[in-house]
C-alpha cells in the first residue's frame, strides 16, 4: 500500500459538504456584477513574470517575497498569478477589447497564489472575485464600482461592514505629497524597520502600510494625502461622494488609505469589518489610470476592486448568516432483482431529463441498505421496484417526511403521475411551513 499524500501547506480542499456555500456566494457575485453590465473574463493561472513586475510593482512584498515563480523548460520565467487585475489588463490589451467600445466592464472568479504565512482567511492558494472597468474617467464610474461591491454585501445580508474611501490624487499632485512624506519619515529614520528604511527613497507611501508597531506609530502623525491633492483631483473626489450620497451608500473618508504604486490615481476604497477579529479588509479597490500605459497601451482610465472569498465566507459565518442548503434528491428508486434494476435505471433517466434530482443504487446494496442510504442523502420521496411491481406495472412512492404513500404506473405515464403528486405534496409542505 502506498503512502498517503496530503495537501500542500497553505492550500485547502473545498469538500462537498461546504461547496454549496461557495457556489451560493459566487452566484450572488456573478448576478450582481451582471446587473451592473459586467461580463465574465477568464485568464490563465500563470503569466510571464514581467507582467506582475510591472503591474504589481517590483518594490512590493508580493513581487519581492511572495510570488510563485519558476522557469519553463524553454527558459521563460513564469509566475502563478498573485492577483487578478494584471491578467485582465493584459487580456484587454492583447485582444484589443477597446475596439468593442468603451467602457469595457469585466468580472472574474479565480484562484491566486502567494507564498506567505498560512492562516485563517489567508491561504497560499486563495480565491478572489474582482471587477474591472476600462475606459471610464468620470467620477460616476468610481461610484458605480463602489456600489457594485456594496450591493454584493447587501445581497448576502452582511452587516457591520464599513466603507472607507480616500483620494490619493494624480501622478502630478502626488509628487508634493511624496516629498512631504519623505521629509517626515527622514526625521524618524532611527525608529523605522529595515523594510521601511529601504522604502524611504523608492516609495515612502508604502511605509504607511507597514504592520510593524513602531512604523505604525510613526505613520499615525504623518502628513495626509488630502492636504496635497490638486483642484481637479479634489473636485473628482467630491463628485464621487455626491454620487455615493445619491445612492444612499454610507462611507467614511479615511485619509490613511493609500496605494504605493505610481499608476494608482485618485479614488481608493476599502470595505472593512471587525467581526472576524482585528479590523480586516474584505474588499479593496480604486482607480489605476496609469496601469494600461505601464503595460504598453495607450493612456486608459481604469478602476476595479477585488474581494477574497475565503474571508467573505468567514464574515458570513461570524454573522451567522445562513446560506440556503442545496436541493436534495427528489426521488430515490430502490430495486430488487435484475429486471427491477433495469426498469429503475430507465425511470431515473426520465426524472433527470425533467430536471429532477433522482438516484438509485449503483454499489450493489440490499433493499434495507438502499433505504438507509435514501434517508441519509435526504431524499424527499422513495420508491421500491421489485418483480411483482413490474408484473403489475405499478409501484408505491413514499413521502420520506411523513410516510404518506401514493401509487404511480411504471409505464409511459410514470413521469406525469409522479410530477402531479410531487407538486401536490410540495405545495402542501409550503402551506404547512407558512402556518
Q: Identify the structural domains of the chain with CATH numbers, from first to last.
A: 16-173+229-318 (3.30.930.10), 331-421 (3.40.50.800)
Q: Report the SS3 class of residue 37.
A: coil
348 and 333 Cβ atoms separated by less than 8 Å: yes
63 and 53 Cβ atoms separated by less than 8 Å: yes
DSSP bridge partners of 271? 163, 283
Q: Report the SS3 class of residue 269.
A: strand
- Per-residue pLDDT 10s for the chain (435 aa) are 788 899 999 999 999 999 999 999 999 999 999 999 999 999 999 999 999 988 887 666 666 778 999 999 999 999 999 999 999 999 999 999 999 999 999 999 999 999 988 777 779 999 999 999 999 999 999 999 999 999 999 999 999 999 999 999 998 888 888 899 899 999 988 889 988 888 888 888 888 878 888 898 998 889 999 999 999 999 999 999 999 999 999 999 999 898 877 788 999 999 999 888 766 899 999 999 999 999 999 999 999 999 999 999 999 999 999 999 999 999 999 999 999 999 999 999 999 999 999 999 999 999 999 999 999 999 999 999 998 999 999 999 999 999 999 999 999 999 999 999 998 876 555 444 434
104-141 confidence digits (pLDDT tens)? 999 999 999 999 887 777 799 999 999 999 999 999 99
Instruction: Quote the crossing angle between the two packed helices 414-434 and 338-353, to the nearest 10°.
Output: 60
Name the residue with cell 507611501. Answer: 205
At residue 315, φ and ψ (nearest 5 deg) are -65, -45
The length of the chain, given as a count of residues: 435
Which residues does 64 contact at the CB level (< 8 Å), separation at least 6? 58
What is the torsion angle, in degrees rounded to the nearest 10, for the CA atoms of residue 61, residue 86, residue 182 and residue 254? Answer: -100
Q: Give ∠ CA 291-297-301 in degrees, rounded to 5.
A: 50
361-402 confidence digits (pLDDT tens)? 999 999 999 999 999 999 999 999 998 999 999 999 999 999
Amino acid at each position: 500500500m502506498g503512502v498517503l499524500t496530503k495537501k500542500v501547506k497553505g492550500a485547502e480542499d473545498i469538500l462537498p459538504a461546504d461547496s454549496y456555500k461557495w457556489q451560493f456566494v459566487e452566484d450572488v457575485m456573478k448576478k450582481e456584477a451582471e446587473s451592473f453590465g459586467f461580463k465574465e473574463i477568464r485568464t490563465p493561472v500563470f503569466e510571464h513574470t514581467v507582467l506582475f513586475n510591472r503591474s504589481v510593482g517590483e518594490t512590493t512584498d508580493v513581487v519581492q517575497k511572495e510570488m510563485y515563480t519558476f522557469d519553463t523548460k524553454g527558459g521563460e520565467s513564469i509566475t502563478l498569478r498573485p492577483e487578478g487585475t494584471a491578467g485582465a489588463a493584459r487580456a484587454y490589451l492583447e485582444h484589443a477589447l477597446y475596439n468593442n467600445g468603451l467602457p469595457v466592464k469585466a468580472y472574474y472568479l479565480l484562484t491566486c497564489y502567494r507564498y506567505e504565512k498560512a492562516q485563517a482567511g489567508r491561504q497560499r492558494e486563495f480565491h478572489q472575485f474582482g471587477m474591472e472597468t476600462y475606459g471610464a474617467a468620470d467620477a460616476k464610474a468610481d461610484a458605480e464600482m463602489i456600489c457594485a461591491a456594496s450591493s454584493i454585501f447587501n445581497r448576502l445580508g452582511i452587516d457591520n461592514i464599513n466603507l472607507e474611501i480616500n483620494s490619493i490624487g494624480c501622478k502630478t499632485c502626488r509628487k508634493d505629497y511624496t516629498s512631504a512624506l519623505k521629509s517626515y519619515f527622514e526625521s524618524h529614520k532611527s525608529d523605522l524597520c529595515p523594510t521601511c528604511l529601504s522604502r524611504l527613497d523608492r516609495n515612502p507611501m508604502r511605509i504607511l502600510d507597514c504592520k510593524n508597531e513602531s512604523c505604525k506609530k510613526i505613520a499615525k502623525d504623518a502628513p495626509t494625502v488630502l492636504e496635497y491633492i490638486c483642484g481637479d483631483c479634489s473636485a473628482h473626489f467630491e463628485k464621487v461622494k455626491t454620487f455615493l450620497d445619491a445612492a444612499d451608500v454610507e462611507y467614511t473618508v479615511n485619509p490613511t488609505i493609500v496605494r504605493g504604486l505610481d499608476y494608482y490615481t485618485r479614488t481608493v476604497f476599502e470595505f472593512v469589518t471587525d467581526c472576524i477579529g482585528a479590523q480586516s479588509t474584505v474588499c479593496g479597490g480604486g482607480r489605476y489610470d496609469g496601469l494600461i500605459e505601464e503595460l504598453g497601451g495607450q493612456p486608459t482610465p481604469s478602476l476595479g476592486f477585488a474581494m477574497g472569498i475565503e474571508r467573505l465566507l468567514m464574515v458570513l459565518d461570524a454573522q451567522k448568516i445562513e446560506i440556503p442548503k442545496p436541493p436534495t434528491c427528489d426521488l430515490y428508486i430502490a430495486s430488487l432483482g435484475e429486471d427491477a434494476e433495469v426498469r429503475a435505471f430507465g425511470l431515473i433517466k426520465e426524472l433527470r431529463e425533467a430536471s429532477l434530482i433522482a438516484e438509485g443504487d449503483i454499489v450493489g446494496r440490499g433493499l434495507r441498505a438502499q433505504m438507509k442510504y435514501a434517508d441519509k442523502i435526504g431524499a424527499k420521496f422513495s420508491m421500491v421496484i421489485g418483480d411483482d411491481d413490474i408484473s403489475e406495472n405499478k409501484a408505491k412512492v413514499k413521502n420520506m417526511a411523513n410516510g404518506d404513500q401514493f401509487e404511480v404506473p411504471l409505464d409511459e405515464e410514470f413521469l406525469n403521475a409522479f410530477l402531479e403528486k410531487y407538486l401536490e405534496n410540495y405545495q402542501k409542505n409550503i402551506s404547512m411551513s407558512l402556518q
